[in-house]
Amino acid sequence: MPLELYLDLHSQPCRSVLLFAKINKIPFEYKAVDLSTGEQYGEEFGKVSIIRKVPVLKDGSFILTESIAILQYLAAKHRTPDHWYPADLERRARVDEFLSWQHTNIRAHGSKVFWFRDVVPAVTGSQVPKEKMDAAVEELNASLKIFEDKFLQSRPFVIGDKICLADLVAIVEIMQPVGTGLDVFQGRPALSAWRDRVKKEIGVEIFDEAHKTIMNVNALAQTFESKGIPEFLKLKLQKMFN
Ligand SMILES: N[C@@H](CCC(=O)N[C@@H](CS)C(=O)NCC(=O)O)C(=O)O
C-alpha cells in the first residue's frame, strides 16, 4: 500500500511535507482534506486522526501526525541526503533548535497575520481593528528579525551551504502572510536572497505549484461565498476575539 499524505495546501506544515516528499521523489498518494469546508471534523477524517488537523501520514497501518515528526520520519525512512537532517550531532541540533523555536514564533505570528488579513475578513466581512493588526505585524517583524539575526546570520542556509529541514519549514511559514499580500521580503534583502536560494533548491516550479492556493488572496472569500462558512470557523473566531 503506498504512503498516504492527508493534506490541504492552505496549511504551511502540509506544504513542507508535500515539498519534502516531492523533492526527494518519495512516492505517495495525495489525500485531499478540505479545511475550508471543515472536512477535518467529519467522520471519515476522524478515523485517521482524532487531532483533526493536517498533515497526517499513513504508512500501511502506521499513522503519524505533526509535520516535524513526519518530516523526520520521511528523512530517516527514505534515507534522504544528509544535508536535510544531518547525522552530525551539532548540525542536527541546530536544525532541531529552529524546528522547536518556529512553532511559537514565526509560525504563530505568520499564522495570526494570515488569519487577521485573510480569514477574518472572509468570514466576517469586516477588517480586524487597526491596533490589533499593527500589533500582529509587529510580532511577525520581531520573529523575522530573530530568524535573520540568529538562525540565518550571513550563511546561505540555516546550517551552512546546503538546504535543511529548517529552511523548508521556515519558507512555508513565511509565505503564509505573503499570501495575504503582505510582502515581508520588501526591505529585507538578505531574507529575499535566502528565499530565492531556497526556491531554487526546492525547484521553482514545485514551489510555486505548492503555494498556488495560498497566493490566491480571494480564494477563501470565494469558497465561503459558494459553500457557506463552516461552523467551526465561526467558533474559532469567537474564541479569538472574546
Ligand atoms: N503542529 C501541527 C500543526 C497542524 C495544524 O495546525 N494544522 C492546521 C492547518 S495549518 C489544521 O489542520 N487546522 C484545522 C483546524 O484546526 O480545524 C503540525 O506541525 O503538523
Distance 189 CA to ligand 1 centre (A): 30
Any atom of ligand 1 within 6 Å of the Cβ of 35: yes
Q: Is residue 241 over pLDDT 90?
A: no
What does the pLDDT read at residue 12?
Answer: 98
Fold of 4-82: Glutaredoxin (3.40.30)
Convert the pLDDT of each residue in 3-16 to its tens digit.
999 999 999 999 99
Q: What is the mean pLDDT of the chain?
A: 96
Sequence-distant (6+) residues with CB within 8 A of 135 are none
Please report which confidence band the pLDDT of residue 21 belongs to, taking 50, 70 and 90 as the band edges: very high
What does the pLDDT read at residue 178?
Answer: 97
Q: Is the pTM of this model over 0.95?
A: yes
Distance 95 CA to ligand 1 centre (A): 21
Q: Is residue 57 over pLDDT 90?
A: yes
Distance 188 CA to ligand 1 centre (A): 28
Q: Which CATH class is domain 84-235?
A: mainly alpha
Every domain of the chain and the residues it spans: 4-82, 84-235
Q: Please choose, from the candidates 28, 27, 36, the residue with its C-alpha nearest in 3D space to the C-alpha of residue 5.
A: 28
What does the pLDDT read at residue 221?
Answer: 86
Contact 7, 34 (CB under 8 A): no
Any atom of ligand 1 within 6 Å of the Cβ of 11: yes
Distance 131 CA to ligand 1 centre (A): 27
Any atom of ligand 1 within 6 Å of the Cβ of 16: no
Q: Is residue 242 over pLDDT 80?
A: no
CA angle 22, 145, 183 (to 5 degrees): 60
Any atom of ligand 1 within 6 Å of the Cβ of 40: yes
- What are the φ/ψ torsions at residue 66 (nearest 5 degrees)? 75, 115
Report the nearest atom of ligand 1 relative to the CA of 35: 14
